[in-house]
Amino acid sequence: MMTSRRQFLQSSLLATGALALPRTMLAGGTVSRRAAGGRVVSTWDFGVGANAAAWPVLARNGAALDAVEAGARWAESDLCNSTVGHCGYPDRDGVLTLDASIMNGDGSCGGVGAIEDIEHPVSVARAVMEKTPHVLLVAHGAQEFAISQGFAKKPLLTDEARKAWREWLKTSEYKPKMNVERTRIPGDEHNHDTLGILALDAHGKLAGACTTSGMAWKMHGRVGDSPIIGAGLYADNEIGAATASGVGEEMIRNSASFLVVELMRQGRTPREACRGAIERVVQKRPAASKNLQVCFLAINRHGEVGAYALHPGFVYAMHDATPGPHDKLIAAESIYGGGVVR
Ligand code: GLY
């Protein structure tokens, strides 16, 4: 079948991650988001499922904050996912610890780090944001707080994750490497893909959430970037929102999601801002950056979306009211190579 020029343009834009929300121009050139109904974007292929869980909230003119929480909760319960939530791989001691954060575009935010036996850390993060004067609770204190808020304590480590850990124990070799070919092979030590989800709602408000089991076989007590506001997640209604996936230490070193938003504040597009943050990672640790994967995803207040990675392989999922190719996975460009649509 012949590809129409419109279809060709759409796919080209999707391939570069440069597609913006359809804009409804009002008198005076105001851009309306209400007509478009918002947009949600999520990291990796499992982002499709997260977006599907988040979209109904946006579609009924709900809040971006509720949408990203719904999307993150879906990923936390996804029984196929060895890098997030319930099916995550444990640390080197065989203990599954989870990290998560949530941020509203008005600046309110919360996070939990290294929490055990609680299925939905993103909702605990939201409770930290809404019910405490703090931003981040960790480990036993985070769990105690969760239980006090009515979250059930339950063992989460799956048989498959325990088996993968026992297999890893045979060598106990720990070398975080780049995640060029993302896999879900049991025992794959490169498997550290975070669910980062960003939404713009019909009221023009932004929010984001981030949730992960962190890097498999990490040291017990290690906390990555995902629960740290500014590292794994940042959102500002005036500018945009950003999230990260990959080796969290690089995001923490560079306050990377905050950096992406600040680069957008300086006038860069989401894609340019993500690239700028990747360049900073390379600049700071050029040798290390060759062997680590770092990925950024951003949306600005107009609904424009962009991403960039250190290495090829990073994909993100996008969902909005427009029918057609918007549900597809989109390949991010990378500093050390091209992008591949999976
Ligand atoms: N980006 C997830 C982690 O490093 O834990």
**30 CA → ligand 1 middle, Å:** 38
pLDDT tens for each residue of 118-132: 999 999 999 999 999
* Among the ranges given (12-16, 109-113, 189-193, 315-319), the one the predictor scored with the smallest mean pLDDT: 12-16
Identify the residue whose C-alpha is closest to ligand 1 atom 4. 248
- The preferred substitution site among 82, 247, 297 for testing ligand 1, maximizing ligand atoms within 8 Å of CB, is 247
DSSP letters along 147-215, please? HHTTPPP-----HHHHHHHHHHHTT--------SS----TT-TT----EEEEEE-TTS-EEEEEEE--S
328: confidence class by pLDDT, cuts 50, 70, 90: confident
CB 43 within 8 A of CB 316: yes
CB 165 within 8 A of CB 100: no
The atom of ligand 1 lying closest to the CA of 248 is 4
Phi/psi for 184 (5° steps) reads -120, 35
Question: 336 pLDDT exceeds 80?
Answer: yes
Phi/psi for 209 (5° steps) reads -145, 160
Sign of CA dihedral 236, 237, 240, 244: positive
Query: Ligand 1: residues within 6 Å at CB?
Result: 192, 194, 212, 214-215, 224-226, 245-248
CB 286 within 8 A of CB 311: no
Q: How far apart are CA 275 and CA 295, in angstroms?
A: 9
CB 57 within 8 A of CB 101: no
Question: 180 pLDDT exceeds 50?
Answer: no
pLDDT tens for each residue of 9-46: 333 334 444 344 443 322 222 233 433 679 999 999 99
**56 CA → ligand 1 middle, Å:** 28
Catalytic (active site) residue 194: yes
pLDDT top residue among 326 and 173: 173
What is residue 36's three-state secondary structure?
A: coil
Crossing angle (nearest 10°) for helices 121-131 and 64-77: 150
**84 CA → ligand 1 middle, Å:** 10
The mean pLDDT of the chain is 85
Q: How far apart are CA 272 and CA 260, in angstroms?
A: 9
178: confidence class by pLDDT, cuts 50, 70, 90: very low
Identify the residue whose C-alpha is closest to ligand 1 atom 5. 214
Question: 8 pLDDT exceeds 50?
Answer: no
The atom of ligand 1 lying closest to the CA of 245 is 1
Cα separations (Å) of 33 from 13, 145, 151, 304? Answer: 20, 37, 35, 12
pLDDT tens for each residue of 185-205: 333 334 558 999 999 999 999
Question: 146 pLDDT exceeds 80?
Answer: yes
173: confidence class by pLDDT, cuts 50, 70, 90: confident
Q: How far apart are CA 274 and CA 245, in angstroms?
A: 12
pLDDT tens for each residue of 240-285: 999 999 999 999 999 999 999 999 999 999 999 999 999 999 999 9
Out of 83, 194, 212, 269, the active site residue is 194
**124 CA → ligand 1 middle, Å:** 18
Phi/psi for 105 (5° steps) reads -65, -10
Question: 1 pLDDT exceeds 90?
Answer: no
Q: How far apart are CA 244 and CA 212, in angstroms?
A: 11
Question: 105 pLDDT exceeds 80?
Answer: yes
Q: How far apart are CA 108 and CA 101, in angstroms?
A: 11
**CATH number for the domain whose boundaries are 5-334:** 3.60.20.30
pLDDT of residue 74: 95
40: which 2 tokens? Answer: 């949600």
Q: Where are the domains of the chain?
A: 5-334
pLDDT top residue among 16 and 61: 61
